[in-house]
Amino acid sequence: PAPIIQYNQQPVSTLDLCSNQTIVLEVANAGDWLYQWQLNGKDIPGINAPTLPVNKAGGYSVTRSVNNTGQDQCSQPSRSETIQVGQGLGPSTLIRKSADVLCTGGTLQLGGPQNTSYSSQWRKGMNTLPESGPTINVVEAGMYVLVIKNAVNGCTATDSVEVTTESIRVTLPEQVEVE
């Protein structure tokens, strides 16, 4: 039978990579065979293990053949189905502010993208905030960070914004009476 390519011990036909991500493809029930991995139909030189680290998009397949250690010498090499690895897109994380500055005693709303397949995690500095939705209301100055994860492909993205406060002091002259 033809070898079956898996990711996380599950057969796959397509996968998405996030930027700067490496995944490991593997042959199901690897056994004692020789393997040759291909990218877009061409052999990948020197890659003969039942696992393959992948960090770029393309069509991946593997050919399995006898390794001459007691296996049936009449067995012919067999090739897997090609799986397509695409470049997954991370979520857009541009943080929106309801105002440019936070007035003393006021509230400022910060918002990220509204998408039901995204999960949001907010931080102030290095501290994780309890809010987990796409928007939060802040009452203190500081560096706010939003980490978004796309539940569909697992890609994440991060954005940050500095919130500053502004207080205005107005001094009025003493009351003057005019006659």
pLDDT band at 70, cuts 50/70/90?
low
Mean pLDDT computed over every residue of the chain: 87
pLDDT reported for residue 73: 60
pLDDT reported for residue 154: 79
Give me the phi and psi of 68, to 5 degrees please.
Answer: 65, 30
User: What's the average model confidence in pLDDT over 131-150?
Assistant: 92
45-53, long-range: CB < 8 A, 24+ apart: 50/26, 51/24, 51/25, 51/26, 51/27, 52/24, 52/25, 52/26, 53/22, 53/23, 53/24
pLDDT reported for residue 31: 79
